Amino acid sequence: MTWRRTLWLLGTVLAVLAVLWYLGGHGTGESPEARFARGLLAPYGADAVRAVEIHFPERVVRLDRRGDSWRLTAPVEDLADSAGVAMMLATLEFQEVDRWLPPLPRDRWGEAGLDAPMPLVVLETDSGRDTLRFGELNPVEKRLWVQASWRDSLALVSTLLRTRFLKGASELRDKRPMAGVPLHRMERLEIDNPRGSFSIVRERDGWAIHRPEPYRASGDAVEVLLSILWRGSVLDFVDLEAERLGVYGLDDPLATVTAHLRGDARPRRLDIGGRRLGLWYARNPDRPSGFLMDSVTVAPLLESFSAYMSVVLFTYLPGQVSRIEGPGGVLVRDAGEDWLWRDEAGREASGAEVVRLLNRMIRISTERVEALLPRRDQLEAWRLTAPDIWRLDFNVDREPLTFELGPAVEGRRYFRRADYPTVYSLPAEQLDFAWPAPADSAVTPAPPADSAGP
C-alpha cells in the first residue's frame, strides 16, 4: 500500500469519526432537552459561551471571547490562556450529573454552602446570562452541590468542574512571552545580547544565521528558542510602572529579541532585564505587565550566534532530492519513483547506491570549524580552489545546493556548502565518497589522492 493511499484511508476514517461524533449529540446544534436527556449539566456546548465571569469574595475575573481566542478583561486587560479557557469550558460542556436533587429553598441554601458560593460563575451567551453556584462537598457522595440558573433542581457533580473554574487572573493569563505574535508568520528573529547581535532567518531548506553574513543554523537549537518564546515559560507577572523600569533593569535591557512578521511592518519585541534570586525580569511591550522567567529558560537568549550553528551540513530527506550532478555526470530521479535513477544517457543507476550517498551527505558533521570567513590563502591551503575539488550539485525540492570537498591535506579533508562561507574539516577516511554510476558506464571517479599541501 502506497503512502498516498494510506493518507487517503486515514482521512476517510477521520471524516467518518467526525460525522459520528456530531450525530452522537456532540455537535453545536444539540438541543438543551437532548443534552439533559443524556445526563449532562449544561444546556449548551462550549462554543455558545461568549464571556465568563468568575466571582470570588474579593475579586471578579472576566474573560471575553475574541474570535478563536480569549482575552482577560478584569481585573486586568491582557491576553488569556486560550487553551486553559477551552479546557475549562470543555469540562463544563461534557460534565455529567451524578444525581439531581429536589430544589432547596433559598433560606436553606446555607446547608449546601450555596449562600456563599465559591465561586459563582456567570456564563454569557447570545441568549443571555446564566449562573453556576458552587457549594460545599457532599460528605457522603464526595460530590459538589451545584445550583444552575437553568434548572430548579440541585446537582451533584465531580469536584473537577469547580477546580477548572478556581483560577485567578494570574493563572488565566497567557504565559507565553511572545503571546499574540503569530509564529507561522514569523520570518526573522533578531537577537541583541552582550555576546553580539545576529538574526535567525527562515529559509526554504531550514534556518540560517545572519551576522550579517549567513551561516547554517541548527533546526533543533532554533526550535528550542522558539519553544521558549511561544510556549508557557512565564513563571509569574510583575506590575511595571514606567518610572520604575530601571528597578527591573528594563529601561536599558540586557538582551532584546525582536520578531519580524510576514506582511507586518511593525516588529514585536521581548526585553530581558535584571536578575534577582535566580529569576530574570522580562517584558513584552505589547502587554500591560512584565513577568519573571527562570535562568535555564533565559540562557538561550543570552548565547552567541555560534550556539545556534548547525551540527550537520545538510538537512533533508533522500526522497526530496530529484537531481544530482557530480564528478561522474548527472543523475535524475524518475518522476513518481523513489529508487529509480538514470544518467544523461537514460541508463539506470543503482538506487541503493544513490540513497546511500545521499544518506552519507546528511550525516556529515560540522563539529570542527576551520574558519567562519576564510581568507583566499586559507582556501588555497585547504585545496578548496584546486581543480580536482570534489563537487556535488543537487536539488532538494527544487532548491539547488552544492557540496565542495577538497583533496586530503595531511590526513584531513576540508569542505563547505557553496551557499555559506564556513569551512569545516574531518579526517579523510570519513569523507571518502564514490559516484553511483551505472555498472556499464566509465570507471567510477576515485577520490582525490592525499596531498601534503597546495
CATH of the domain at 273: 2.60.40
Query: Which domain covers residue 198, as residue numbers?
Result: 183-308
Q: Is the pLDDT of residue 342 over 70?
A: yes
High-pLDDT (> 70) share of the chain, %: 89
Quick one: 281 and 358 in the same domain? no
Q: Is residue 212 part of a domain?
A: yes
Cβ neighbours, 10 Å, residue 359: 11
Q: Is residue 441 part of a domain?
A: no
SS3 452: coil
Quick one: 167 and 198 in the same domain? no
Query: Could you give the CA distance from residue 125 to residue 278 in angstroms, rounded to a whole number?
Result: 45
Q: Is the pLDDT of residue 140 over 90?
A: no
Q: Does the bond joining 212 to the residue before it have cis omega, within 30 degrees of 0?
A: yes
Quick one: 331 and 300 in the same domain? no
Q: Is residue 386 part of a domain?
A: yes
Give the predicted TM-score (pTM) of the model: 0.76
Q: Is residue 446 part of a domain?
A: no
pLDDT in tens, 349-377: 888 899 899 999 999 999 999 999 999 99
pLDDT in tens, 391-418: 999 988 878 999 999 999 999 999 999 9
State mean pLDDT over 182-195: 95
Quick one: 418 and 343 in the same domain? yes
Quick one: 42 and 23 in the same domain? no
Quick one: 51 and 159 in the same domain? yes
Quick one: 147 and 49 in the same domain? yes
Quick one: 44 and 168 in the same domain? yes
Quick one: 206 and 141 in the same domain? no
Quick one: 83 and 151 in the same domain? yes
Q: Residue 214: its pLDDT value, please?
A: 93
Q: Is residue 440 part of a domain?
A: no
Quick one: 155 and 59 in the same domain? yes
Query: Could you give the CA distance from residue 151 to residue 436 in angstroms, rounded to a whole number?
Result: 77
Task: Output the average pLDDT for the chain.
Answer: 88
Q: Is residue 448 part of a domain?
A: no
- Number of domains into which the chain is organized: 4
Range with the lowest mean pLDDT among 16-25, 98-107, 380-389?
A: 16-25
Q: Is residue 87 part of a domain?
A: yes
Query: Could you give the CA distance from residue 138 to residue 330 in angstroms, rounded to a whole number?
Result: 79
Sign of CA dihedral 360, 361, 363, 367: positive
**In this structure, are residues 409 and 451 in contact, taking their beta carbons and an 8 Å threshold?**
yes
Q: Is residue 442 part of a domain?
A: no
Quick one: 164 and 40 in the same domain? yes
Residue predicted with more confidence, 28 or 351: 351
State mean pLDDT over 153-181: 94
Q: Which of 116, 151, 172 is the last residue of a domain?
A: 172
Q: Which of 274, 308, 342 is the last residue of a domain?
A: 308
